[in-house]
Amino acid sequence: MGVIAREDAVRTRRGWRPGYPAAAVVFAIGMAGTTLPTPLYGRYQEQIGFSELMVTVVFAVYAVAVITVLLVAGNYSDEVGRRPVLLLAMALSAASAGCFLLESGLPLLFVGRLLSGCAAGLLSGAATAAVIELAGPGQKARAGFAATAANMGGLGCGPLLSGLLAQYTPWPLTLPFLVHLGLVAVGCAITWFLPETVDEPKRWPPLKPQGVAVPPEVRSVFTPASLAAFAGFALLGLFTAVAPSFAAQTLGVHNLAVSGAVVFSVFLASTVGQSLTQRIGVRLALPLGCGILIVGLLFVASSLIAESMPLLVLGAVCGGAGQGLAFRSALTLVSGAAPAHRRGGTISAFFVVAYAGISVPVVGVGAMATWLGLRRAGLIFTGCVILLAAGAGAYAARRPPPVDATDRP
């Protein structure tokens, strides 16, 4: 009777409290803050003076922080609840914006990216789980799309917002972060009124680092899903860390709004790809998404060879669509196969692999660029990711996940 009464109380609260769309808005606000600096790295290079390798290292600090938080506290929201973790993530995002506002050299850039990565690490598992769990009967598929769209859409809106503000306002390195602080305040207000979806949350128990913990029943689904996520996030990492520099140095495009729009197009295409996943079918979307991702990578390689902005945009759109198809399919399979009491931790393990893809290859590109030049480094990168995406797609096609995993949220 106690369990039934608690579930009735939760349903009552959900009748007047925000639901999964509100949680998705909070997710998007938090993720937008993580990509705000993308079009601004060139300005920071001019102001502070550092190499292309250092740009990728600053970017990688963010991803390392994400992975560390996922490993140390990826399942923490399963214990303390989704709302406290979301509020903590918003606080870290605000602190990151503060570091960029006070920026006086590389140390604060590193601290800002570190705090931003910690916020994203907390959001990746907790916000995804909150959006899915706040969905009512018959809303699980839409909530799954809302979670992945909020993630990718937020990441895409960050560089678009900062590019426009940096290009067309007198305060290019301050106004983007002031605007984001305002958005974070809105996100905190929304989070405060979200229903808690964890039954009997604990009051801040001690952290117990989990490592990469994947329940045995999820592993057959987890392998192809995580490989596809790694390949797709590697493409995103290339565009968020290196594409603005390539546009400026090789293509002569110095408009920050254009650079931000190119990065935004990757994430917009990803969101469109995600919207098609349910129509195509979750199991088919994974290998198909890998195939489209490969086509996009070929366009990116062609743009490097021909020094063509249109080809780069085609690569962004096509690669982003393939990444979106594969990513939503992968996340749906993993979250659906995971038991409820370990869903947050399992999703966090999935994001550990994904964020390894967004960081490790990009640092390799930065290191190779100092030796071989940006163009050759990019070609080597695209070749390696094409091979990985082909392997993940072939694996998923030959060993499709169980039907019951695709039928769950």
Measured distance CA(367)–CA(355) in Å, rounded: 19
Whether the per-residue pLDDT at 167 is higher than 90: the answer is yes
pLDDT digits (tens, 9 = 90+) for 10-53: 444 444 467 889 999 999 999 999 999 988 888 888 888 777 77
Average pLDDT over residues 94-108: 90
Whether the per-residue pLDDT at 7 is higher than 50: the answer is no
Average pLDDT over residues 55-66: 83
CB atoms within 10 A of CB 114: 20
Question: Nearest Cα to 355, choosing from 241, 260, 221?
Answer: 241
Locate 17 and state its tokens. Answer: 């409290």
pLDDT, position 100? 93
Question: Nearest Cα to 251, choosing from 320, 305, 298, 297?
Answer: 305
**What percent of the chain clears pLDDT 70, i.e. is strictly above it?**
91
Please answer whether residues 38 and 159 qualify as being in contact, where contact means their C-beta atoms are separated by less than 8 angstroms: yes
Whether the per-residue pLDDT at 341 is higher than 80: the answer is no
Instruction: Tell me the C-alpha to C-alpha distance, in Å, between residue 109 and each of 54, 69, 156, 277, 278.
Output: 11, 19, 21, 37, 40
Question: Nearest Cα to 166, choosing from 183, 155, 178, 156?
Answer: 178
pLDDT, position 9? 43
pLDDT digits (tens, 9 = 90+) for 385-396: 999 899 888 888
Measured distance CA(351)–CA(357) in Å, rounded: 10
pLDDT, position 211? 59
- If you search the block for the tokens 């085609």, which residue do you land on? 314
- pTM for this entry: 0.81
Measured distance CA(32)–CA(35) in Å, rounded: 6
pLDDT, position 355? 80
User: Whole-angstrom distance between the N-terminal and C-terminal Cα of the chain?
Assistant: 27
**402 pLDDT tier (thresholds 50, 70, 90):** low
- If you search the block for the tokens 């598992």, which residue do you land on? 125
Q: Which CATH architecture has domain 14-196+213-407?
A: Up-down Bundle (1.20)
Locate 271 and state its tokens. Answer: 């969101």
Measured distance CA(326)–CA(100) in Å, rounded: 33
pLDDT digits (tens, 9 = 90+) for 208-256: 665 556 777 787 788 888 889 999 999 988 888 777 877 887 778 889 9
Q: Which of the given ranges, 184-188, 304-308, 326-330, has the highest pLDDT on average?
A: 184-188
pLDDT, position 201? 78
DSSP for residue 203? S
Please answer whether residues 365 and 381 qualify as being in contact, where contact means their C-beta atoms are separated by less than 8 angstroms: yes
Asked whether the CA dihedral 249, 255, 256, 262 is positive or negative, the reply is negative
In terms of phi and psi (left: phi > 0; alpha: psi -120 to 50; beta: otherwise), the region of 154 is: alpha
Lowest average pLDDT, out of 169-178, 218-227, 335-344, 376-385, goes to 335-344
Torsion angle in degrees (nearest 10) through CA of 198, 202, 207, 210: -40
- Helix and strand numbers (H, E) in the chain are 18, 0
pLDDT, position 212? 59
Average pLDDT over residues 192-211: 77
Please answer whether residues 74 and 127 qualify as being in contact, where contact means their C-beta atoms are separated by less than 8 angstroms: no
Radius of gyration of the chain (CA): 20
Q: At what angle do helices 374-398 and 343-372 cross, to 10 degrees?
A: 150
